[in-house]
Amino acid sequence: MKLSVKGFDIHSGLLDVTEQRSVLDAVRSVVTRAPFFRPEMPSGKRMSVRMTAAGQYGWYSDKEGYRYVPTQPSGQPWPDIPLEVLEIWQEVTGLERKPECCLINYYDAEAKMGLHQDRDEADMGWPVVSVSLGDEGLFRMGNVTRGGKTESMWLRSGDVVVMGGDARRAYHGVDRIRAGSSKLLPKGGRLNLTLRVVD
């Protein structure tokens, strides 16, 4: 089922359990080559979300600010974006252009992500596609400027969100996760993949 909330296109239940498992296996293989780390925000505080990435670029943050980087903190390149993940991009966007970054976020029971815009990409005309796996996450959708009315929705394992049009520049975040709401990840928690065109 597809619904639109404040311009965010939500394909709920797009991936069945078999597809979720195959994406999860692909993510695990990325994580063995590119381990999770907790980026430091410009304020000096560490994020509660653990991150890694696949593709030509990964997203990185430290005291110098938010940016895309061609290598992991170890100096190694990021692993390729798994085909299973590129297929989801293809299915929901139909675009010729492929994403250059698949950011992988892991939320444990306490992790959350404050309201923010995705704006480190050179051309914000391309959509961002988000794939949720594991425990449910309360996704908050806002406006293109800070403030104003927001709407929230629980994203479930297998849900895919397309942020395009005005929603591409809209503030969004994850208030909390519902620990234990999914059995997909044996140790619990939530994985979110976001596919981005960077250059």
121 binds Mn ion (CB under 5 A): no
Is the CB of 156 or the CB of 172 nearer to ligand SIN?
Answer: 172
Is the CB of 50 or the CB of 172 nearer to ligand SIN?
Answer: 172
130 binds ligand SIN (CB under 6 A): yes
If contact means CB under 5 to 8 A according to the sort of partner, which of Mn ion, ligand SIN, none does residue 139 touch?
A: ligand SIN
118 binds Mn ion (CB under 5 A): yes
**Shortest separation between residue 21's beta carbon and ligand SIN, angstroms:** 20
The residues near 82 (Cβ < 8 Å, ≥ 6 apart) are 23, 26, 27, 29, 30, 54, 102
CA 171, CA 152: separation in Å to the nearest integer? Answer: 12
Residue 160 Rama label (left phi>0; alpha psi -120 to 50; beta): beta
157 binds ligand SIN (CB under 6 A): no
Applying CB under 6 A, among 194, 195, 196, 197 the residue interacting with ligand SIN is 194
